Amino acid sequence: MDTREEAIKLYRELIPKLLECGTEIDEHFRRFRELRLREDDLSFQGALLNVEHAFFMVVQSMNILRENLSLLEVAAKKKEIE
């Protein structure tokens, strides 16, 4: 069964959603960072910093996903996927 066309279709559906989601995540990250910078309690600053780090990890994962989706599209176009 050749799934290349379906893979490319899913890729093209997902990329705009990843960009939209990434923009929302970035906005929330910035809001948490602002809270941390305004916070006086050092222990709560640490908790907020952990949240910032988690956001960073999500963004990194999304970047890896986007890169692999791009490679999938290239492979599908070259007919390397079987």
Flag whether 60 is in a domain.
Answer: yes
Q: Tokens in use for 18?
A: 């990843």
What pLDDT, on the 0 to 100 scale, is given for residue 54?
A: 97
Structure tokens at 44: 């709560």
Structural domain count, the chain: 1
Q: Would residue 64 count as lying in a domain?
A: yes
On whether the CB atoms of residues 52 and 33 are closer than 8 A, the answer is yes
82, part of any domain? no
Q: Is residue 34 part of a domain?
A: yes
Return per-residue pLDDT of the chain as tens, 82 residues. 888 889 889 999 999 999 999 999 999 999 999 999 999 999 999 999 999 999 999 999 999 999 999 998 888 887 755 5
Identity at 40, one-letter amino acid code: D
| 81 located within any domain | no
Host domain of residue 38: 4-75
Tell me if 63 is assigned to some domain. yes
The model's pTM is: 0.77
Residue 80 maps to a domain: no
